[in-house]
Every structure is written in C-alpha cells, then in structure tokens.
Amino acid sequence: MNNRTTARERKAIPGHFKALLAIVLFFLLLGGAHLVLSRYLMYIISVMGIYIIATVSLNLTNGYAGLFSLGHAGFMAIGAYASTLLTFPVSLRQAYDLPLLPALLGGQGYQWPFLPAILVAGILAAFGAVLIGAPVLRLRGHYLAVATLGFMVIITTMAKTLKWLTRGSAGIQVIPHYTNVWWVYVWALITVYVIWRIINSSYGRAMMAIRDDETAAQSQGINLVKYKLLSFVIGAFFAGVAGGLYAHLARAIRPYEFSFTMTFEIVIMLVIGGAGTMIGPVVGAALLITLGYALKPLEESLRLYGLIELVYASLLIVIMLWRPQGIVGGNLTLQGLGQWFRRLLGSTGERHKGTLPDPP
C-alpha cells in the first residue's frame, strides 16, 4: 500500500527535513501550550497522547496485520500495574499493602526510575502477548476476537484476585506523578515512527499480505506465525507503555478501568479514524478524546451518564455504515495530508484501501 510513496520519499530528502521541521514545530507548540493552558487542559492533551499510542499500536495488529484483537486493554493493564509496582515509593509500600515485588524485578527495597519502569512495562506486556499469541493467533476473524477478549477478561480477573500483588478491586493509589506531556508525546512519536518504519519494511509488507489474503501470503512463502506474532507483540509492547504512562498520569488505577470499555474505546478510535492508515488512528484518538472531554460538562450537568459512550457508539455505527474505511484514507506523508485536507474540503481525493472495504 505504501510502497509507492516510500519510494518517492527515499528519493526526496526534503521530505524528511519537512517531517523533522513539523516535529520541532509540534513540540514548540506543545511547549507554548504548556505555558498558556490550564493544568486540566494539559491533562486532557496528555490523555489524548496516551490514547494515540494505544490506537496507533493497535493499528499494527488490527489494521495492518488484520488480526482483529479485542485484548488491547489487557496489555495496557499489564503495563500499568507493572510500572506502578516498580516505581511505587518504598516508604509507602508497607502502608499500602504492597510490599511484594519479585527479587527479579529489583525486590521490595528498590524503587525504579520511570524510564526503565516504562520499558519493563512494555516488555512484560509484550511477553504476555507472546504467551497468549502463540496459541491463539492461529485462529481467525471472530474466533480471534473472542479469544483475545477472553484474554482481557482473564487479565482483569487476575488484577482483581491477585490481592497480594494488585490490592484487588480497591486498586492502587498515590502512584508517583511522573507522566507529563513530554513523556507522552515523545513516546507517541517513537510509536508512530517505529510502526511507520515497520509497515514500510518487508515486515510490514508481509503483514499486509497476510491481512489481504492469508492463503496467498502463505503460498508466497511468508511465515504466518512469525509475522502475526510480531505484529501482536509489538502492538502489545506499546500498549504496555501506554498503560504505564496512564498509571503515572491518573495516579490511581483500578482493575475495572482496563476492561471492555477501554478496549472498545480504542477499537472505536481506530475504526473511526481509519484502520490500516498511518494518521487514521491519530485522528480517531484525538477526535474522540476531544469530543469526550467536550461533552463531559454536558453529561454531568444534565446527569445524562453514558452520553459520551452513546455518541462514540453512534459515530462508530455511522462510520461503519457509510464510510467503513474510516475518516482518513491517507497515510503519513505530506501528500497524504494534503489529500486528506482536500477531501475534507469536498473534492474527492485518492482512496486508499483500509481493512474494511466498501459495503457491497
């Protein structure tokens, strides 16, 4: 799908320069926002970034490799609990019934710094993905969706029941407040970059070939298990990172937060933005988080609890019925962005194939 544009990109070095410039500009903008905007707005922007990481990483599994997974919140839970337990202040562990930490992970007397803790969070989530993925990934479509959903339920059940490790349903509070917009958006940038590099490599092409036609891909000598597992595990790694960042932003985690609602939210963001495109998940996550926080005052003043999810679900249904490829049908190139804006303004641009073709 992206072969053509990458070839063009390779020749045109200014494209890289422009991208770099855009990144620098973005971070300058973020710095400006940090000075001007309130703490609440910065919190929302951080949440947005975390969901961008989660959605972009799900896109690798779901959009590019075509493995419809409903287990993403499970990986986020693993990441959130792992980084929380590693960084929990030693002095508070006794008081909060969290003295236990395996010696392998530094033991109970050692509080990890944030960066290695986040990395371990991602690695543990990836490890979980290997464990569940190795057996489950030979299933397809529906079966895979329900099996990964089952995995997510098992993870939340464990978070509820392993009280010596997670404090059960009460959750863990007073998590150190490490996450800020910088952490979030540097990680978001890394996620987007890594996944962009993967899908523009032979790995990515193999994944997309599997998505488009598994049998044909296999007959071309593509190792199905290897590429499926790879996309699943890399997706899980970044989900773990997103979970870790979330824990240190919200400063309190409970098992039920990482359940169906969160999984579906991420899937909805991906589908609405456009699965199998580079900026689709970013747009989807940004749009839905903005919408969610914009509707929050309305929901609370009218006491219409559930309004936000209702709007999310309506959007999902509308998109599925009338624009199943998502809002965005482009990719992360300036040409793609230009096309997207032109399309937004009404003229029809080039269409790209997502996971979901037009209805018959």
Partner 1 sequence: MYASGYIAQQVLNGTVLGSMYALLALGMTVIYGILRLINFAHGAVITIGAFCFYVLFVSLHLPFLAAIALVVIFGGITGILLDLVAYRKIRGGPEVALLITSLGFYIFIENLVKMLASPQPYAFRPPPFLSQVNQTAGGVTFLTIDIFILLVSVGIMVFFALFVKKTKVGIAMRAIAESGETARLVGIDINRVIGLAFVLASAIAAITGFMWGGKYGQISYAMGFMAGVKAFVAVVIGGIGSIPGAMVGGYVLGIAETFSVALLPPGYAEYRDGIVFAILILVLLLKPSGIMGERAKV
Residues near partner 1 (CB under 8 A)? 68, 135-136, 138-143, 145-147, 149-151, 153-154, 157-158, 160-161, 260, 264, 267-268, 271, 304-307, 309-310, 312-314, 316-317, 320-321, 324, 355-357, 359-360
State which residue, 118 or 132, has the beta carbon closest to partner 1.
132
- From the CB of 260, what's the least distance to partner 1, in Å? 6
- From the CB of 282, what's the least distance to partner 1, in Å? 19
Contact present, 97 and 82 (Cβ < 8 Å): no
State phi, psi for 253 to the nearest 5 degrees: -130, 145
State which residue, 48 or 268, has the beta carbon closest to partner 1.
268
Contact present, 92 and 256 (Cβ < 8 Å): no
- From the CB of 320, what's the least distance to partner 1, in Å? 5
Q: Which of 168, 176, 177, 178 is nearest to 97 (CA)?
A: 168
State which residue, 30 or 287, has the beta carbon closest to partner 1.
287
- From the CB of 341, what's the least distance to partner 1, in Å? 27
Euclidean distance between the first and final Cα of the chain, in Å?
22
Q: What DSSP string describes 220-251?
A: TT--HHHHHHHHHHHHHHHHHHHHHHHHHHHS
Contact present, 132 and 62 (Cβ < 8 Å): no
CA diameter of the chain: 63
- From the CB of 317, what's the least distance to partner 1, in Å? 4
State which residue, 75 or 112, has the beta carbon closest to partner 1.
75
283 vs 273: CA distance, rounded Å? 6
- Residue 305 DSSP class: T
Q: Enter the tokens of residue 176.
A: 């150190």
- From the CB of 207, what's the least distance to partner 1, in Å? 16
State which residue, 61 or 333, has the beta carbon closest to partner 1.
61
State which residue, 30 or 147, has the beta carbon closest to partner 1.
147
Q: What is the identity of the amino acid at 254?
A: R
Q: Enter the tokens of residue 287.
A: 């749009």
